[in-house]
Each structure stands twice: as structure tokens, then as C-alpha cells.
Structure 1
């Protein structure tokens, strides 16, 4: 039995314990590990490790001793409940041992869960599961999680209802983060909202999302982009005292103004353009940057990028000019540039 599309997530959330074996495979080891953990937890329920209802066998060990799996599924546990034998990182050479265990499996034996990396169409392990009448194959692709899957994770974390605006930002964020990092963030949201009956807000997602640059450097670039010259000096002195390198500030400014420029050129508008960036911009941060895009205009943003690139080249050259005054002068010049489309 080969699972396809939405069937994969539905089945792994509630695997059938009457089927002898499940193969989970894919190129992305983190995605496979997350799905494996979900399937095993659904089969065994809580406390499986403590109650010795979960047996782990490394694929390399099974290749050396092909009786390990068949013996493990027949063992009788001391505690009631579903037992699982997990074969992790199974190479193709384990196919004969897995086949022997499946053929010898009967109701009451432990369910077999096998994980593997990317398997080709000619893989013996893949052929075994795909052609078997009762075993299940779950290929895990590198697609980011969809809205239904994210909603299920949020529900498991204690959030039953999520407003559409917050869900939209979570879907956007899931495309930028590694699967493990995104799953950890969902769990963090659950802890943050524990006991809080108010809806999840985009601002809270932005607060909990991993930061890509130092917060104070981010604030400094916003001051520059918004022309708030009166706020520039005190924050610049604080950043300088922290020892942040001038080239780091310049890179952050280039990244920010490139994002503004890309958003200004997006046919769907600034909001859509910022959502399509990698990493994407979302929540209140997206609204703020969209206002900056509108204030600057395409031509002014091109001039700003040209000026920042020149400054970056100077900072990386063999010039003896003090570097902090170089970047400070460049940012002040940007903060004082006229705004508006031209």
C-alpha cells in the first residue's frame, strides 16, 4: 500500500496497528525523523520507552544479524499496550531481514516501523513495501507543511482555533525554516499561549520567530529607512560600544534595502513581495516595511542600494579610513535622502 498526498499525513497521525509494517523514507532526514516520531507516538501512546514497549534497532545492526527484527517482534512485554519495533536508517541490504519479519508477523506481534533515506525506484526495500498486500509505504517529500498539518500541530500544542491572519504568517514562516526549527517554534507557541484564551496574533508569532539579525541593528536600519535622524545618534553609539563590526551593519542594511527593492518591484504589491522573500517577512514587521517601500519609491531604493554597495566595497578594501565613521556617514546620508517615487 503506497500513501499519496494528504493520505500520508492522515495515516501517520493515526497508523493502523493491524498492519504489520510501515516504511517512512525521504531525502530530508529531519522530515523523516519528525514523521517517524509522530507515527510511533500515535501507535504506542505515552510512556512507551519507560514501559519497554518500544524497541530500537539500528539499520547497520540488522544488516549484520538478520534475526534481530524477527525476534524483537515476537517478544512479550511486561506492560499492556501496543508494542513497536523501530528500525532506523535502514540500508537496502536489510530488505531480506525485514521481509522475513513481515512474513512471520501475526496479530499481537509488535508493529514494525522502518525509516530510510532517499530510496530509488529499484530499491529492494521500497519494492518490498510497495508490493506487499498489508504493509504501508509513506514517502516523505521536501515540501513544507501545509495549513492542515500546521493546524494539527497547533492543536496538539493546545491551540484549537487560530485566526486566518496568524495561520497565513505561520504558513509563510514554515517555508523559510528547517522542519525541526519550525516544529520547535510551534511547540514554543504552545508554551507561550498555555492558559491564555486570547487568539494567537501575528505580533506574537513575530516575537517568537527566530531572529536573523541583531535586534538593535534591525532597529537602526529601520531608523535609517524611516528618516528618523534624531534617533540615529544614541542607538549608533550603543551599537558601536557593543563591538558590532561596521561590515556587519552594512550587510544588514544591504539585506534590508534589497528586500525593500524586491518588494517594490513585485507585481502583487509590497505586502505580497515581502511575503515571497526568503526568508519571508510577516506580521507587523511586514506592515512596517511595506510602509517604507511606499515612502521610498523604486528609484530612490536603487540609489540607496548603489550607495550601500559602494560603502561595502570601501569597508572590504585596503583603505586606512576608519570603518565605523564610513558606515555611519553612509547611513546618515540614507536617512536624509528625499523620499517618494521619482
Structure 2
């Protein structure tokens, strides 16, 4: 059974009673885990109960496929429904689950599989979408509207009120990984203190004080430093990013995104609009504290230079994927090269 992305949360909270196995998959691993946890909680009160929740690995099933049936058929000590969880699922499991779904054992145990971004041609995904006793639950990255709703709902459920400015900043900077988003929001609420002590209002000062060192702001610092031609800041930002465990490709894509926004605004500028008008058209909007800095870069970087920079970043990303050279070295070289070539004079009207 194929579950629509818009119905995924509702299904995870209350799966259909005739469903024996659910495949939770998608590019947002944080959301995959969250929905798998929700499915487990729909069956078991305590997900840490070893008698009612069993964890299996792909390797264990490859070595002994019969373990799946054994775990599904097992009775819980003390009674109650059981959940069998399987992480890092892959297409190699398709034949095993085809056999399982064709003739499942008796009982009401729910099997929950977690997987990455399975393509439409995936055998495992196709199986779970086709069979009536199984469901495929997609987990796509939060879009702007979904992310803003999540932020508002999280604050409201805990009794906090955030200013529109704070919500807009969080929406534009928290990124698209559901788990990381929730962690940052929980950190912010912990920073504010208990609602009952009069700390229910969250404003920009709170957000900047608490979320200001997040990975996404590190990426903003790096992107602006490259555009400014600030080699020292680029080096500091790269060192911090790599120390925080950020990978090369997301770094390159973040800087590419910054230059693509400059290129978009540059197009408006070259059509005769003012820099204020050109920047105002961008979505999501440029953060007010960096708007002047963005406009200065817009004035210096011409269309040709922006196109060359974007192509250089795309080439670096491809090099990270297809060459044997260390990706951190490729990324650093490309960013230092762009930074050194950053225009120092105005490239057009502002």
C-alpha cells in the first residue's frame, strides 16, 4: 500500500489494523526515525520493553532469514502486541519480505523497517507499495510551509509564543532534517526556561543566542565570506564546519545556493530594478541582518563572474564524487580559489 506523504503522520500515529509491515523510507533520516518511533508507540507503550520490541539487523537476517518469522510469531512475556524493528533496510531484503507478506504468520506483530532514499524502481519499496498487508511511508525533507507549521506547533504544544521574526529566521535557517530541527527547537525552549516561570515568549535575541552556532549559520558565514573575498574567515568557517562533522558536498551546495541567489537577484538588477527591489524578490527572504552585506556582494559580482563561480562549485562537487582525492581538500581548494577571485569593485548598478 502506498501512503501519500500528506497522510504519513496520521498513518504513523494510527496504522491500519490489517497492516503487518511498514517500510519507512526517504531522504530525511530524522523524519524516518521519528515516524518509525511513532509507529512503534502506536503499538507499544514503552519502546524500551525488550519483551515487546525486538531489534533485528540486515546482517542477522542474511545469516538466518528464519529469524524474521521467529520474532514475528513470538509471544510477549506478559501479553500485548509486539513490534519488530529493522534499520538500514535495503533491496536485498525484498525476496525475504515477499515470502513473508505472501504468507505471514498468525498474530498481530507489526514489523517496522527504516530505509534511506529508495528510488521508485527499488524492489523493496515496490513490494511494500503493492502488497495490501504492507505500507510504504515516504519521508521527504520539510519544505518551507511544512517547516514553519512544525515550528509553530512545537512551540504551541509546549506553551511558548514566538515572534513572527523569530519564526521566519528559524524557518530559513534550521534546514530540512526533522530530527535536527526538533533538537534545535528543544534546545531553544530549554534555553528560555519553564513556561510557568514567565518565559513563554521567544524573540530574535533568544534565537540568535541559542541557535547562532548551528551548522546552518556556519554555512551562512562560509558563503558570505567567500562572496566577500575574506580568506581568513573562509578558513575559520571551513575549520569549524569540518570539526562539526559537516561533509564536503553539503558545504559546496550551501555556497552554490548563496551564489545562485546572487545570480537570481543580479538578473533582476540587470533588468533595471534597484538592488532593494531585486533582493526583495528572493524567497526565502534575505535575513535582515545580512541584507546590506548581500546587497554589497550583489553590487560587486557581475552575471559572468557569478556563472563562473557556480560552475566551479558544481565541478568541485562532481570531483568529490568521482575522484579518489580527499573531498575536504577538493572543497577547500575550490572555495579558496573563489574567495581569492572575488571582485573588489562594483560590478553593476545598485
Q: Would you say same fold, with TM above 0.5?
A: yes
Kindly name which structure, 1 or 2, has the bigger radius of gyration based on alpha carbons.
1
Contact 1:9 1:149 survives alignment (8 Å) = no
- In the other structure, the counterpart of 1:15 is 15
CA contact 1:263–1:272 (8 Å) conserved in 2: no
Residue deviations 1:114-163 (CA, integer Å, cap 9, x gap): 1223434443322322222232111223454713344444456x246545
Equivalence map 1:1-342=2 (5 Å): 1-16=1-16, 18-45=18-45, 47-79=46-78, 81-102=80-101, 103-107=103-107, 109-144=108-143, 146=146, 147-154=148-155, 158-159=158-159, 162-174=162-174, 176=175, 178-196=177-195, 197-209=199-211, 210=214, 212=217, 247-249=231-233, 265=266, 270=279, 273=282, 275=284, 286-290=287-291, 299=299
Of 52-61 and 9-18, the range deviating more from structure 2: 9-18
Partner SS for 1:44 = coil
Query: Contact (CA 8 Å) 1:57, 1:85: kept in 2 or not?
Result: yes
| 1:22 CA drift (Å) | 0.8
Residue 177 of structure 1, CA deviation:
5.8
Mapped contact 1:144–1:179 kept (Cα < 8 A): no
Q: What is the CA–CA distance in structure 1 between the aligned matches of 2:167 and 2:16, rounded to whole Å?
A: 30
Contact 1:259 1:274 in 2 (8 A): no
Q: Secondary structure at the match of 2:194?
A: coil
Q: List runs of 5+ in structure 1 lacking aligned partners.
A: 226-245, 307-315, 318-333
Q: What is the TM-score when the length of structure 1 is the normalising length?
A: 0.61
What is the deviation of 1:55? 0.6
Distance 2:261 2:92 in 1: 52
SS at structure 1 position matched to 2:181: helix
TM-score (norm 2): 0.60
Deviation at 1:101, TM superposition (A): 3.7
> d(CA) in 2 for partners of 1:67 and 1:166?
53
Q: How many residues were matched structurally? A: 271
Given that 2:142 and 2:177 are in contact with CA atoms closer than 8 Å, whether structure 1 keeps it comes out as no
Alpha carbons of 1:18 and 1:206: their partners in 2 closer, same or farther (altered >3 Å)? farther
Q: Give the drift of 1:57.
A: 0.6
- In structure 2, relative to structure 1, the CA distance for the partners of 1:88 and 1:188 (3 Å cut) is same
In the aligned structure 2, how far is the partner of 1:80 from the partner of 1:200? Answer: 45
